[in-house]
Structure 1
Amino acid sequence: MINKLVVALIVTILSFHAYGQKEIDIADNPSFFDRVYVGGNVSMQFGTFTYLELSPLAGYMITNMFSAGLGVTYRYISIRDVDFNTSIYGGRVFARHNLGEQFFLYTEYESLRNELRFGDGTRREWVPGFFVGGGLFQPIGNSGVGFAVTALYNFSYDEIRSPYNSPWVFRVGFTL
């Protein structure tokens, strides 16, 4: 439990999120590549507690306000004092609906391969996550850069199997 809390706190404070912030006008009939955007998440901490995450994503602007996409996730966690290390990996699909320039609705389904520890040993299982929520994007100037805050609720949360310490997941970062 405490390990999950530490991981969640570190991810929230130290993560760098990059979401594709792209504006298109469907009336201009943009090409396929004009509608594609990339982004993701990179997090890292080193020391007695080591946490590394790489989560790239690619999205497609379906309309001016709606996009969907795919992503993969890899996390490495090591706690030197208790001789613990593991890798968590998997994929996700997402959809985002912009409500004007600042607010958006977001949903995501992910499946992560998590190492579960029991009294008699360990085993790996695919753990689903179905997230629904929304967020705020605050632009900084006219450059497309901004600050994003997202609050999501995991409707598939399982206290024993989930790599998260709560059904609530908060993401904070910069958008480029």
Structure 2
Amino acid sequence: MTKYFLLIITLVISTLGFSQEEDPYVFGDKTTNNTATKPAKDGGFDWERVTVGGGLGMTFGSITYIEISPSIGYYFTDNILAGIGGNYTYYSEKAANFNTSIYGGRVFGEYIFSNIPILLHTELELINIESYDNTRINIVNPYIGGGLKQSFGGHSYFFILVLWNLNETKESFLLQPNPVIRGGIAIGL
């Protein structure tokens, strides 16, 4: 537990250290970082507000866990991001002689603070999972939480989230017990 606490503290300190030079959270002209110089769109879909990305997770040992979770999101305002994503997980437990494929989709929303590298995250996930008695079931997992992000230009950033599953069951426990820790990348188009 102390290792995880120290890791989170280190990430917070390094993220705040990188944010001293300029304000990467203001969208606009890349040379002046001034939103007034960016021409306004006449409504409609703006591809510059789209992000693609996701996460990748792996654990090997007595339990093997491999997760791929692509996502796509859209900034409706400078602070509000919403999107959809998919999830595929391979899970194997040697002691129980059990392995399965877990798959599903999710919708998510984020509120990203303007001048600090913090975000709030909410998510609704539907997954199909094989339980220990070899039957496949659907599980709905609502998550809430927050995290840190480190921007590296426009709408692109690395993130780490700490989420809480509001519907934790013995089957969803196969994925990750509370708290759920995720990390990933979002690339602005």
| TM-score, scaled relative to structure 1 | 0.71
Deviations 1:118-148 (A, max 9, x none): xxx32111111111111122457x6987653
Counterpart residue identity of residue 90, structure 1: G
Give the number of aligned pairs: 152
Matching residue of 2:147: 135
Secondary structure class of the residue paired with 2:78 = coil
Counterpart residue identity of residue 181, structure 2: F
Secondary structure class of the residue paired with 1:34 = helix
1:44 to 40, 55, 58: 58
Q: Does 1:167 align with 2:178?
A: yes
Identity of aligned residues (%): 34
1:126 to 138, 148, 155: 138
Q: CA deviation at 1:53?
A: 1.2
Secondary structure class of the residue paired with 1:166 = coil
Q: Which has the higher strand share?
A: 1
Matches within 5 A, 1:1-176: 23=27, 28-29=40-41, 31-46=45-60, 49-80=63-94, 82-101=96-115, 102-117=117-132, 121-139=133-151, 147-158=158-169, 160-162=170-172, 163-173=174-184
Contact 1:72 1:90 in 2 (8 A): yes
Deviations 1:88-122 (A, max 9, x none): 100000001111241111100001111111xxx32
Contact 1:116 1:123 in 2 (8 A): yes
Q: CA deviation at 1:78?
A: 2.2
State the Cα RMSD in Å. 3.1
Q: Distance in 1 between matches of 2:177 and 2:61?
A: 25
Counterpart residue identity of residue 129, structure 1: N
| Gaps in structure 2 of 5+ consecutive residues | 5-24, 29-34
Say which one has the larger Rg.
2
Counterpart residue identity of residue 182, structure 2: R
Counterpart residue identity of residue 103, structure 1: I
